[in-house]
Structure 1
Amino acid sequence: MLSVLKRAGAMCAAATVMFGTAVVGAEPARAAAIEVGGLSRTYEIHVPAGVTHPSALVVNLHAAGASGREQAALTHYNAVADAHGFAVVYPDGIDMSWADGRGASVPDRQGVDDVGFITTLVSKLVSDYGISPGRVFLTGLSAGAFMANRLACDRADLFAAIAPVAGTVGSNVGCAPSRPVAVMATYGTADPIVPFGGGPMMGRGGASDIVSAPAMVQRWGRLNGCAGPPAQQPLAPSGDGTQTDRIDFAPCAPGGEVVFMRVNGGGHTWPGAPEVLPAHAVGLASRGFDASEESWQFFDAHSR
């Protein structure tokens, strides 16, 4: 099993490089660096042409084994930003991973302060571009989703809404946000890398034990004061072997709406992204919705 997952991780990294050469349309992001905690941390920032004061800032975190540039290519978020006039930033993790608290990565074991890095980066960009502090949002894939959940737990003051895809939190990671954070969480029920049912998993940086997808969504519901039974709405069939249910938790505390995009039969993928990996490695990719456009629409409706 370990060797299969390692091969899948390597294939994921190779695939994101392929995305980087295949995506056309939006202008590329600009590479930059910032000094945080004695380390030079790199990132790519994309602001639509002609836009002086972007309408919002979206932080988009890459998966383990990938980079910010590859995350930009995979998620086509630059094109979404161009269509709606917001800025998007793609930070780079140390050793192509994140210190998300599970202890299953090099930056975790080295004590890298990725919460501090992202916090400092957001503060800089909000100041540089005159972005409203209530219009800062966060998304990420796999290890990037683990990090997104951790950031929302630790810095709920900074992010109005998050949209993690294919990543929860480690069972050892606490979560006590200072205020409600709106959450749109996307998980595939047949994910062969990050188990939908939680428990032990083996990632690029080592073993960890994780909270299940349903438990993660329910946790956010409790933290955000959501009452009443969730409402489930099936999306139209996409003909790709998956079917998505949108599950809304409401009513919730102001600013704390929780939405669960449950991709039945879906794998370890970003819905709407190009499919370049075989299903036996990462599971089925969904065409039922575009996770990039859908997350932006959710973000746009949940400013503070």
Structure 2
Amino acid sequence: MFTVCHRLLRLTAVLLAGGLAASALTPVPHASAIPAKTAQLDHGGLPRTYVVHAPVGVERPSALVINLHAAGGTGGGQAALTRYDAVADANGFVVAYPDGIDLSWADGRGASVPDRQGVDDVGFISALTTKLVADYGIPGGRVFITGLSAGAFMANRMACERADLFAAVAPVAGTLGTNVACNPSRPVSVFATHGTVDPIVPYGGGGMTGRGGASTVVAAPAMADRWRQVDGCPPPVDETLFGAGHGQQIQRTTSAPCAAGTAVVFNRVDGGGHTWPGAPALMDAAGATTNVIDASVASWQFFDTHGR
């Protein structure tokens, strides 16, 4: 497992750094798009960088989405992989892609350099979010967060610890460390997606070894159950979404309405691997991807209807 993880995450770092993947995966710029810009925000004594993309000609953007990269990746690489800029242009919202220290996050598991060095990523992402809300005049209650793999772990942690900032979270291929508490100050809507044969972050939870070391993680269904519990949800309703080919079936469970009008949706990608649905798989070792949903479009559609 370590060899597969190491190979996958090493390739992810190369691809998502912006070279081949950026040219191969970046869509043709939309007519209303303005080029994304890299900026810096000093926090905790460290210069932190991020990429921000805003639709041109929109005086008051409709929302802000924070999109977090996987371990070994970068904000620019996450933008290229998820193609979230195009969704932002079509719907008039701002999207930002922060960069983690050592290409990773202090998500609480203790399995990364920033975690072991005590980097305050909760504080950094919170400060960045507050700055962008002020800079772009984002309406209150229209701030959301998503992420892939380690970025999903970090997104879940942000939703657990800063529910005052984020109305909804959409983690893809990541849950929480079993050592990380989740007691949000208010209900948070959730749109989670996880493949049943994910070779990196096990669907059934337990031990995993990633780029930064070993950790023990919550099972994907148990994470969804935890969110239903904290949000005071009714029993979930099941539906099946179909597509063609391996990994082309999704079992979706939806709990709504939960407290304060929130909802918890869990997408189980049958046969799915460690991928962002709708985007190309990075390599065979990551497992199968699915096109039943596009995680970027689907998460935005969920966010758009679950603000505060």
TM-score bin, normalised by smaller chain: over 0.9
**Correspondence for 1:288 among 286, 289, 292:** 292
Q: Separation in 1 of the partners of 2:257 and 2:62? A: 27
Is the deviation greater in 50-59 or in 198-207?
A: 50-59
Q: Separation in 2 of the partners of 1:60 and 1:135? A: 14
**One-letter amino acid matched to 1:31:** T
SS at match of 2:259: coil
Q: Spell out, residue by residue over 1:49-101, the C-alpha distance to the aligned partner (whole angstroms, 9 max, x if none).
A: 21222110000000000000000000000000000000000000000000000
| Superposed displacement of residue 252, structure 1 | 1.2
Q: Which residue of 1 aligns with 2:301?
A: 297
Q: Which residue of 2 aligns with 1:19?
A: 21
SS at match of 2:261: coil
Q: Which residue of 2 aligns with 1:159?
A: 166
Residue pairs, 1:1-304, within 5 angstroms: 1-16=1-16, 17=18, 18-22=20-24, 23-26=26-29, 27=33, 28-228=35-235, 230-278=236-284, 281-304=285-308
Q: Separation in 2 of the partners of 1:50 and 1:30? A: 16
SS at match of 2:197: coil
Give me the identity figure in percent: 62
Structure 1 residues 200 and 290, CA gap change in structure 2 (3 angstroms): same
**One-letter amino acid matched to 1:255:** G
Q: Structure 1-normalised TM-score?
A: 0.96
| Superposed displacement of residue 246, structure 1 | 1.5
Q: Separation in 2 of the partners of 1:274 and 1:14? A: 15
Is the deviation greater in 17-26 or in 111-120?
A: 17-26
Q: Spell out, residue by residue over 1:247-293, the C-alpha distance to the aligned partner (whole angstroms, 9 max, x if none).
A: 10133112320000110000000000123422xx1110101110000
| Superposed displacement of residue 296, structure 1 | 0.2
Q: Structure 2-normalised TM-score?
A: 0.95
Q: Separation in 1 of the partners of 2:249 and 2:61? A: 35
Q: Separation in 1 of the partners of 2:243 and 2:42? A: 47
Q: Separation in 1 of the partners of 2:80 and 2:5? A: 23
**One-letter amino acid matched to 2:94:** A
SS at match of 1:297: helix
- Does the 8 A contact of 2:195 with 2:274 survive in 1? yes
SS at match of 1:133: coil
| Superposed displacement of residue 226, structure 1 | 0.6
> Displaced runs of 4+ in structure 1, greater than 3 A?
none
